[in-house]
C-alpha cells in the first residue's frame, strides 16, 4: 500500500468519524506533529495553525505585508460639536445659526463646529487584523522551530530569517495596525469576509481567502485534510506514523462493525492513553502507542526464576540490573517496548473477565524488520501483566500458554510481493500476521475470534 493510498484511506476514515461528531483530535494531532515539536503541539488547533503558517499563500502575504499595509482603508466621519467661546474645528455656519436661533439669538459666542475623524474599524480591516493576529500568535509559538534547520520548515522562512521579525514588528508597532481594534470572538462574520473578498485592495482579498482556507483546515475539509497529511509525510518515520494511524482507524472501524455501536473518542487527559471506547454487551477500550498504564497493564521483563537456577542470559540480565540500581541508587525495572495498539475487552459478566489483543505495526516489507516485529509481538504477549500478574502462562501451569490463544497477538506489515499464508493458514501460529491489503477482511476474522473466545478468557 503506497503513501497516497494510505492518505486517501486515512482521510476517509477521519472524516467519517468527524461527520458523526467523533472527531479524533488527539490521534490526528499526533499524525500531524512534525519532528522535535514539544508538548504544546499536542493541541490540534495549534498544529493546524502551524501547517497554515507554512502554506505558500501565507508566506506570500507576509512578504508583501510591509508595502501593502500603508494602503489600509479608513472611513472619515464628521462629528458636530456645540461650543462657546473658543473655536476648535471647522465652523458649520448653517448649524450655528439654527442653534443660536433655537437657544439664544443674541449669543454670538455659540458655534457649531465639525471634526473629522478616521475610523479604522471597518469590516475589511477587522478581517485583516484577525489574520495578522493568527499569524502573529502562531509565530510566537513556533519561532524557535522556524529558525532551526528542520526539513519541514518552508525554504522561504529559512532563506529570509528577518521575515519573522518583520511580521512581529509590524503587528506591534505599525500605527495603522494598532488603530484597528481586536476582532470579537465571533468576528470576522461571513458578511465581513465577503466585503473583504470583494475589496479593491489585494491585501483585503488575500486576507479573506487565507482566513477561509484556515477555517476549512480547522473544520476538517476533505481536500485540506488530505493536503495536511500529505505535507506531513516527509520522512520515512512520518510515513510510518501515518501508516500506524491508518491501521488504528481500520481497527476501530472493524470493532464498530462487530459491536454495531459507534466509538466514543477520548479527549487528551494526562495519565490516560485511551483512544476510543465501545459500550454494549461487551466494553472494549482501544489504546494507541502505550502500555495502558491507567488500567494496570505493564510489559515488564525482569527475571523471576522461582526456585530454578538462572540461565547465563538471565544471570547477565539480573546482575546488570543490580549493578545499575546500586550505582545510581535507584530501582530499575526492565520493560519491553510499547505496542502500537492495545485493545482491551472487558466482559460484562459475573465474575468480570478480560480478553486482550496486542497489535504491533511495521511500515516495512523488509524481512529483518518483520522478524523483529514478530519477536516484539511475542514479547508483549509473554510479559503482559495486569496488576503485576502475568496475563498468559500463569505460574504453576503445567503447559503455560505464554502467547494466549493464538488470537491475542497481531502483527501488521506492508504488502509483500511474495505469497504468504492466509489468516486461516496461520491458525496454529501463536500470532497472526496481516499485510496492509488484508486488513479489511483479516482484521474482522482476528477480532471475531478474539471476542468469541471469551468463554476461555483470563481473569484480571
Model pLDDT for residues 18-69, shown as the tens digit of each residue: 555 455 566 566 666 665 565 665 566 777 888 888 888 999 999 999 889 9
Determine the 3-state secondary structure of 150 from DSSP.
coil
Record the cell numbers describing residue 409, joined without a space: 497477538
Q: What's the pLDDT score for residue 205?
A: 96
Which of left, alpha, beta for 329 (phi over 0: left; psi -120 to 50: alpha)? left
CA 181 – CA 205 distance, rounded (Å)? 19
Q: What's the pLDDT score for residue 3?
A: 78
CA 254 – CA 364 distance, rounded (Å)? 23
Residue 289 predicted with pLDDT over 50: yes
Residue 190 predicted with pLDDT over 50: yes
Question: What is the CB neighbour count within 10 angstroms for residue 32?
Answer: 23
Q: What's the pLDDT score for residue 270?
A: 41
Could you list the beta-strand ranges (E) of 270-388: 274-278, 282-288, 297-298, 341-347, 353-362, 385-386
CB 203 within 8 A of CB 128: yes
Sign of CA dihedral 96, 100, 101, 105: negative
Residue 85 predicted with pLDDT over 50: yes
Q: Please give the backbone phi and psi of residue 50, each rounded to the nearest 5 degrees, phi first.
A: -65, -45
Q: Please give the backbone phi and psi of residue 37, each rounded to the nearest 5 degrees, phi first.
A: -70, 140
Q: What's the pLDDT score for residue 268?
A: 40
Q: Count the residues in the chain.
A: 460
Neighbour-count burial for 351-383, b at 16+ CB within 10 Å, e otherwise: eebbbbbbbbbbbbeeeeebeebbebbbbbbbb
CA–chain centroid gap for 343, Å, is 21
Domains defined along the chain, listed by start: 36-70+123-234 (no CATH), 75-119 (no CATH), 238-300+335-456 (3.40.1350)
Helix %, strand %, coil % of the chain (to 5): 50, 15, 35
H-type alpha helices, 147-304: 155-159, 162-173, 175-179, 190-197, 202-218, 222-232, 236-259
Q: How many angstroms separate the first and last alpha carbons of the chain?
A: 38
Q: What's the pLDDT score for residue 382?
A: 85
* Residue whose C-alpha is closest to residue 130's, from 62, 240, 207, 74: 207
**DSSP class of 458:** B
Alpha carbon of 297 to those of 257, 391, 396, 460: distances in Å? 26, 10, 21, 10
Q: What's the pLDDT score for residue 291?
A: 44
Average pLDDT (134-157) is: 79
**DSSP class of 429:** S
Secondary structure element (H or E) that encloses residue 31, with its range: helix 25-32
Q: What's the pLDDT score for residue 335?
A: 46
**DSSP class of 268:** P
Measured CA angle at 96 (ends 94, 99), to 5 deg: 110
Q: What's the pLDDT score for residue 332?
A: 60
Q: Is the peptide bond before 188 cis (omega within 30 degrees of 0)?
A: yes
Instruction: Give the global pTM.
Output: 0.65
Average pLDDT (183-205) is: 95
**DSSP class of 456:** G
Q: What's the pLDDT score for residue 178?
A: 92
CB 384 within 8 A of CB 404: no
Amino acid at each position: 500500500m503506497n503513501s497516497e493510498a494510505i492518505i486517501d484511506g486515512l482521510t476517509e476514515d477521519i472524516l467519517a468519524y468527524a461527520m458523526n461528531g467523533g472527531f479524533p483530535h488527539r490521534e490526528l494531532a499526533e499524525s500531524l506533529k512534525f519532528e522535535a515539536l514539544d508538548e504544546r503541539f499536542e493541541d490540534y488547533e495549534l498544529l493546524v495553525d502551524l501547517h497554515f503558517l507554512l502554506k505558500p499563500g501565507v508566506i506570500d502575504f507576509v512578504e508583501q505585508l510591509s508595502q501593502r499595509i500603508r494602503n489600509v482603508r479608513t472611513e472619515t466621519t464628521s462629528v458636530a460639536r456645540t461650543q462657546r467661546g473658543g473655536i476648535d474645528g471647522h465652523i458649520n455656519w448653517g448649524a450655528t445659526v439654527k442653534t443660536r436661533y433655537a437657544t439664544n439669538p443674541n449669543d454670538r459666542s455659540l458655534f457649531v463646529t465639525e471634526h473629522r475623524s478616521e475610523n479604522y474599524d471597518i469590516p475589511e480591516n477587522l478581517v485583516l487584523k484577525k489574520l495578522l493576529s493568527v499569524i502573529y500568535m502562531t509565530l510566537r509559538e513556533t519561532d524557535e522551530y522556524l529558525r532551526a534547520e528542520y526539513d519541514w520548515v518552508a525554504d522561504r522562512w529559512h532563506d529570509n530569517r528577518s521575515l519573522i521579525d518583520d511580521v512581529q514588528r509590524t503587528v506591534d508597532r505599525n500605527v495603522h495596525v494598532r488603530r484597528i481594534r481586536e476582532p470579537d470572538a465571533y468576528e470576522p462574520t461571513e458578511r465581513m469576509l465577503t466585503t473583504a473578498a470583494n475589496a479593491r485592495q489585494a491585501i483585503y482579498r488575500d486576507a479573506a481567502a487565507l482566513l477561509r482556507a484556515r477555517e476549512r483546515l480547522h473544520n476538517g475539509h476533505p481536500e485540506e485534510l488530505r493536503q495536511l497529511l500529505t505535507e506531513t509525510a516527509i520522512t520515512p518515520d512520518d510515513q510510518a506514523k501515518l501508516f500506524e494511524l491508518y491501521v488504528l482507524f481500520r481497527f476501530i472501524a472493524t470493532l464498530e462493525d462487530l459491536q454495531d455501536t459507534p466509538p466514543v473518542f477520548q479527549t487528551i487527559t494526562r495519565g490516560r492513553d485511551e483512544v476510543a471506547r465501545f459500550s454494549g454487551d461487551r466494553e472494549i477500550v482501544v489504546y494507541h502507542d502505550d502500555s495502558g498504564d491507567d488500567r494496570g497493564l505493564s510489559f515488564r521483563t525482569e527475571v523471576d526464576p522461582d526456585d530454578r537456577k538462572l540461565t547465563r542470559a538471565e544471570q547477565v540480565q539480573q546482575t546488570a540490573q543490580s549493578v545499575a540500581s546500586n550505582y545510581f541508587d535507584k530501582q530499575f525495572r526492565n520493560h519491553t517496548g510499547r505496542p502500537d495498539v492495545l485493545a482491551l475487552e472487558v466482559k460484562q459478566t459475573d465474575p468480570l473477565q478480560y480478553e486482550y489483543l496486542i497489535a504491533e505495526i511495521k511500515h516495512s516489507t523488509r524481512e529483518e524488520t518483520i522478524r523483529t516485529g514478530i519477536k516484539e509481538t511475542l514479547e508483549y504477549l509473554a510479559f503482559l501483566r495486569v496488576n503485576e500478574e502475568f496475563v498468559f502462562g500463569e505460574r504453576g501451569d503445567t503447559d503455560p500458554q505464554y502467547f494466549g490463544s493464538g488470537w491475542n497477538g497481531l502483527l501488521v506489515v506492508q504488502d509483500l510481493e511474495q505469497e504468504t499464508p492466509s489468516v486461516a493458514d496461520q491458525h496454529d501460529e501463536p500470532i497472526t500476521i496481516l499485510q496492509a491489503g488484508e486488513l479489511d477482511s483479516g482484521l474482522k476474522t482476528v477480532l471475531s475470534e478474539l471476542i468469541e473466545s471469551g468463554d476461555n478468557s483470563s481473569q484480571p
